[in-house]
Amino acid sequence: MITSPLIMTVSERDEFKRTNFDVEAGFKTLTEERDDLKRKLNNLAQGRWEYFNGSFYYKSTITKTWQESRDDCLQKGADLVIINSKEEHDFLRKLKKVMWIGLTDSETEGTWKWVDGTPLNERYWDSGEPNGEKSENCVEIKKFDSENSWNDVSCSTSKNWICEMKVIP
CB 105 within 8 Å of CB 112: yes
What confidence score (pLDDT) does residue 4 get? 58
Q: Each residue's pLDDT tens digit in the chain (169 positions)? A: 555 566 778 888 888 888 888 888 888 888 888 777 777 666 665 667 888 888 899 999 999 999 999 999 999 989 999 999 999 999 999 988 899 999 999 999 989 999 999 999 888 999 888 987 788 999 999 988 888 999 999 999 999 999 999 886 6
Q: Report in angstroms the alpha-carbon separations of 93 from 70, 97, 110.
A: 19, 8, 24
What confidence score (pLDDT) does residue 25 get? 86
Q: Which burial class, exposed, middle or buried, applies to 79 when counting CB atoms under 10 A from its CB (0-12, 13-18, 19+)?
A: middle
Q: Is the pTM of the predicted complex or chain greater than 0.85?
A: no
Q: What SS3 string covers 85-104? A: CHHHHHHHHCCCCCEEEEEE
What confidence score (pLDDT) does residue 161 get? 97
What confidence score (pLDDT) does residue 124 get? 92
Domain spans in the chain, listed from the N-terminal domain onward: 12-46, 49-166
Query: What letters, b where the CB count within 10 A reaches 16 and e where it falls short, cover 129-151?
Result: bbebeeebbbbbbbbeeeeebbb
CATH fold label, 49-166: Mannose-Binding Protein A; Chain A (3.10.100)
What confidence score (pLDDT) does residue 57 get? 93
Q: What is the DSSP letter of 141?
A: E
CB 46 within 8 Å of CB 39: no
Among candidates 99, 113, 79, 114, which has minimal Cα distance to 157?
Answer: 99
What confidence score (pLDDT) does residue 8 get? 74
Q: Which burial class, exposed, middle or buried, applies to 42 when counting CB atoms under 10 A from its CB (0-12, 13-18, 19+)?
A: exposed
CA 137 to chain centre: 19
CA distance 111 to 137: 10
What confidence score (pLDDT) does residue 169 get? 60
What confidence score (pLDDT) does residue 69 get? 98
CA distance 148 to 150: 6
